[in-house]
Amino acid sequence: MYNKGLFHDWVPKPIQLLLIVLLLIVVMPLGGVYTGNISFMAGGTGALSEDFILANYATTIGMGAAMPLVLRIKLRFKVRDKLTVLFILLGFLSFVNATTLQPAVIVATSLFIGFFKMIVAIELFLPLMMIMGNRGVFYGVFYTFVLTLNQVSNYYAVEVSILYNWHQFFIIISLICFAMAMVCRAFMHDKYFALKVPLYYIDWLSIILFVSTFIFSAYVFSFGKQQDWLNSGKIINAGIGAFINFALLSVRQMTLKRPYLSFKIFKKSNVLHGLFMLFWLGMFLGTTSIQNTFAIGVLGYDQLTNAKLNVLMLPGIILAGIVAVFWFKKEQPLKMYIFSGFSAMVGYAVVMYFSMVLEFSYEGWYLPMFLKGYGMCSLFISVWFYTLDKLEIDDMLAAIGLVLVWRTFLAVGIFSALYSWFLYHFQVAGVGDLAAYMDGMTITPQNVAVYMKTIQLNAMIIAGKKLFGYVILAGFGVLIYILTHHFGRERFRYLRLIRMLGGKAIIAGRRQREHKKLMEEIKDAAGPAI
């Protein structure tokens, strides 16, 4: 009656694994927009690039909104029907993005793409979790796989947009999603995973409040610089809207019998320290905006060459995954692995600080991008593992949406917005400082126009160096924190022996254990889903 797998019994096991990998290759890099395509989309639609940055954030918000619902949706629908319909919807939404010129429509479709993508990803991760068993090894393999896939997909998004246009890439994605829907229909079984559960316990108002909270926040981060921050009534109103929606969301969870979110886990020490480390990881990941300013604005790289820089992170990403697999197999403490990740990020900032000159060559990117790739992958694996460790499953599943949004959206968004603001002001100050050389003795009036570009480029370099300098100082503080923080294992384990006296009690206990195991697997699989 029930089937906990994904495919028909007549499908060979190697083919099943191959199909899962194929589906993951399609769904994991899927998004409403692709970061390399933002400039092409802005030019093609005539809209602001901030509109598409907001759409990129909306994809992450949709993924976080879906996370508390994945268990109930998994138990409610047959896997074949569910994945077939979801891939059709993802293909349709990608086609809408390819044909519309309205940024608001792209933001809305991006939100739903993230929502549906999370549901599909969890379904594909659970069988792989059962195969690998070890949660740390699973994180090591799949963060490496996902991060590698994201860099490659962004590169090809840019290449297709240059050879044809950005619409064509979305159309290709749409056709691939429709093909995956046919694969799901042909090979997946039509049985339920377990006992069918109803959907009417879902609190849709909480979902709306959750999405509204972070969409308002995303608007602030995306349009803050363009609207001049607190000098804009729109930014102030969006900030107030985010605060009010989050307050209403929090109050509503206290009154519900089955809350959409749970805040209990935020009392745990490892969760608080994990969120703290994820915040500083966002500081390093946010330096991508400084890197892009230097690569495109100073060195004059085109979009394809700039996209190749992210591909240079692949050796570091792969090395971090290999180290993680051996590290978790030997059950080594996380402390030094986390320290190595933050050290690599600090090393990346140091190399960039000393390398930002007008004569910087392309070969000079190899070392900093290798360090960045290693640091990003190792910290995604280790910090996420540490944050979710030793938590109550029910509370974790109900709060993981907030943690995912914090890791991927809030932490990076805050620092990206700060960097863009400081870059502008540091550039203005740099031009003012360099203007001292623009007098009749050093630069003649006839040569002012010739040297103006050099002065502007040097002002951009000065601004980037200042920001990287502050990042380095903060990074050394983070390293001191890592060295002084305790990442030790649990000292004592208490086992409770529950004696079942009746047949019904035995069945109930078995169902409870299966339910707990399933929720544990979903919690483990949620990490690489973003």
Spatial CB neighbours of 211, under 8 Å, sequence gap ≥ 6: 61, 62, 65, 111
Taking the C-alpha atoms of residue 155 and residue 146, their distance in angstroms, rounded to an integer, is: 14
Spatial CB neighbours of 470, under 8 Å, sequence gap ≥ 6: none
Residue of 12, 5, 29 lying closest to 530 (CA atoms): 29
State residue 113 phi and psi, 5-degree precision. Answer: -60, -45
Taking the C-alpha atoms of residue 72 and residue 340, their distance in angstroms, rounded to an integer, is: 39
Q: What CA dihedral angle connects 411, 415, 418 and 420, to 10 degrees?
A: -130
Structure confidence at residue 499 (pLDDT):
41
Taking the C-alpha atoms of residue 172 and residue 530, their distance in angstroms, rounded to an integer, is: 22
Structure confidence at residue 459 (pLDDT):
87
CATH 1.20.1250.20 residue ranges of the chain are: 9-193, 283-489
Taking the C-alpha atoms of residue 48 and residue 43, their distance in angstroms, rounded to an integer, is: 8
Structure confidence at residue 133 (pLDDT):
65
**For 9-193, which CATH superfamily applies?**
MFS general substrate transporter like domains (1.20.1250.20)
Structure confidence at residue 501 (pLDDT):
42
Residue of 45, 32, 34, 54 lying closest to 417 (CA atoms): 54
pTM of the model: 0.85
Structure confidence at residue 170 (pLDDT):
92
Contact predicate 167/100, CB 8 Å: no
Structure tokens at 289: 């905006």
First vs last Cα of the chain: how many Å apart? Answer: 33
Identify the DSSP state of 102: -
| Backbone dihedral region for residue 229 (phi beyond 0: left; psi -120 to 50: alpha; all else: beta) | left
C-alpha separations of 390 from 61, 256, 385 in Å: 26, 26, 10
pLDDT, tens only, 121-162 = 888 887 777 777 677 888 888 889 889 988 898 899 899 888
pLDDT < 50 regions, the chain: 490-502, 504, 525-530
Q: What CA dihedral angle connects 25, 30, 34 and 37, to 10 degrees?
A: 80
Neighbours of 200 (CB within 10 A): 5
Contact predicate 387/270, CB 8 Å: yes
We find that the CATH architecture of domain 283-489 is Up-down Bundle (1.20)
pLDDT, tens only, 329-362 = 888 888 899 999 999 999 999 999 998 888 888 8
Structure confidence at residue 511 (pLDDT):
61
Residue of 254, 411, 385 lying closest to 320 (CA atoms): 385
Residue of 384, 467, 474 lying closest to 427 (CA atoms): 467
Single-letter residue type at 77: F
Q: Cα dihedral sign for 233, 235, 239, 241?
A: positive
3-state secondary structure 273-293: HHHHHHHHHHHHHCCHHHHHH
State residue 108 phi and psi, 5-degree precision. Answer: -65, -45
Spatial CB neighbours of 105, under 8 Å, sequence gap ≥ 6: 96, 97
Structure confidence at residue 174 (pLDDT):
94
Taking the C-alpha atoms of residue 169 and residue 158, their distance in angstroms, rounded to an integer, is: 9
**Mutual angle of helices 503-526 and 393-405, in 10-degree steps:** 20
Neighbours of 273 (CB within 10 A): 17
